[in-house]
Structure 1
Amino acid sequence: MKSLLARLAKAGTIFLAMASTASAQQAWPAKPVKVYVGYPAGGLADVMARSVAQLMSETLGQPVVVDNKPGANGNLAGEFIAKQPADGYSLCLCSTVIESVNPFLYEKMGFDPLADVRPAAATGRIQAFLVTKPDFPASKVADFVAHAKASSVPLTYGSAGAGSSPHLLAEMFKRSANFKATHIPYKGAAPAIQDLLAGHVNFMFDPGLSLPHVKAGRLKAYAVVSGSRSALLPDTPTLTELGFPGLDYDTWFALYVRSGTPQAIVNRINEAVNRALADPSLKARYRELGAEPVPMSAADIKAIAQRERAAFGPVIRELAIKAD
């Protein structure tokens, strides 16, 4: 009898715990949700986060508060949420590089991005463009490659820093096209663009910041490194179209949660973000940033990160690239 009572008591405890958990998930969010942006205030990721958070607040019925935890290419924000409760109240907005590229760049990380955090929703993508000054002696990509091969001095290209997406894309392109070029790293894409405009470097793969200069005729866009043409420059071909298969990578930003967050909460976050991305005012704001809202599932964004990891990891290892 005592054994039976003990089993019944244990079963009752388990039932009450499950009921409590289900109730908590159903009530989520019952307080403000915080989004920690892994990059400085005022930058593209920060503006993206604040645009999405405002609309998420309307959908969820609770404030979605944005704060900045910049540093280590998103690692500091990722590490912070990895140490918070897995309850959906602490999110970080980072590029997928925190799980696809950073583990190869940083010898030590304060968390395991493949085990400790998981993406909940994509917040947008940035497409990279091969750009030069208008007086560069080439009218199309084939001419660009021919000029690069014929040059007695290797071309120079700028990037947002060692191991950044523009750096890795340029390395993959020059290998695919079989020409030499010297990397000039900068502390961000903006100073790299300024030196390109000044003629201090020959080309770069720019993550959208160059678009106003392209439209104003100060820079020329030859191709987009993406699986599809950009809605922002629809007449610009993709590198895949031009005979360079496999060069179709975008820069993706996503909201991450701590691993172990209940799936029901992850689903609510995903639904709220995707609803925000469909809002006309957000779409207009994104166009100003050179970004595109692309609603997708958490599984879709995870698959993108895994593909990036498989492509960029070998390049980083071969070139022995380490974070500055």
Structure 2
Amino acid sequence: MHAVTIREPGGPEALAWTEVPDPEPGPGEVLLDVVATAVNRADLLQRQGRYDPPPGASPYPGLECSGRIAALGPDVTGWEIGDEVVALLAGGGYAERVAVPAGQVMRRPQGISLRDAGGLAEVACTVWSNVFLLANLRPEELLLVHGGASGIGTTAIQLAKAVGARVAVTAGTKDKLERCRELGADVLINYREDDFVEAVREAGGAAGGADVILDNMGAKYLGRNVDALATNGRLVIIGMQGGIKAELDIAKLLGKRAAVLATSLRARPVAEKAAIVAAVAEHVTPLVDSGAFRLVIDRVLPITDVADAHRVLEASEHVGKVLLEVSR
């Protein structure tokens, strides 16, 4: 088969469509013929040599895919060859074939094409596990999403609105904020011009801020995120785009009875990932099928144009997901 390999750590030009050995499904795994995958920030970090795959994972980038089951490993039940599925991966999605634990696979929702579903798993699993399973966002609470026009952001807006929460977002352009408004965002904050702490405190009313904050920035926003939390608020950090080290004011945190949580998805044990995928299948798939949630796709490129796709993400030129389609 062919897969995207990394010649050496570096820029997008380091990516190459290369002939490699076919994967074999092990016990409890299924083999997928990949139809599409998507570009995530973690892929950029891996290309740069800053984010190695977990032990035992495929060395090729790609944390999600859609495709058809091509073979079943030992001890796999409940699936048949030819089933159309969506998969959460620890790596290997940038390829014609990938082996994945059966628990990290879910049936393709009927409300989305198999190609477009290539960008569903990572954002749906990230948002559902962090905003709902971990931070327990409830109806009428206020969620602040940094990077509202990203794949994560456009997903978080819609899922939060689906459960009856209010949503504030940050973005860097009027066009991106308008796209967020179209998806249901209630409070639009241009981070280049406005103070998100002040805006969220005003929107929070008596609560005094955001009940849940989904943050991709890390160190750069830590202090201001704590300032923006409501009493009993929950800050969930899922990225490090703004650095890895910052000072935390414990007194403010104690005064608000607030929590700072940090998670990653890629390195979790298979059983934890399977539980998250099952929760997404239960709660998100019906929203896709009913039209209450629509995956926002910025563009679809052939996987041989993977370098261009990485450049788009690095330049933050996109709204929603950037997909890579595998042709045979």
Coarse TM-score class (shorter-chain normalised)? 0.3 to 0.5
Structure holding more helix per residue: 1
Task: Output the TM-score relative to the length of structure 2.
Answer: 0.35
Task: Output the TM-score relative to the length of structure 1.
Answer: 0.35
Higher relative contact order (CA 8 A, sep 6+): 1
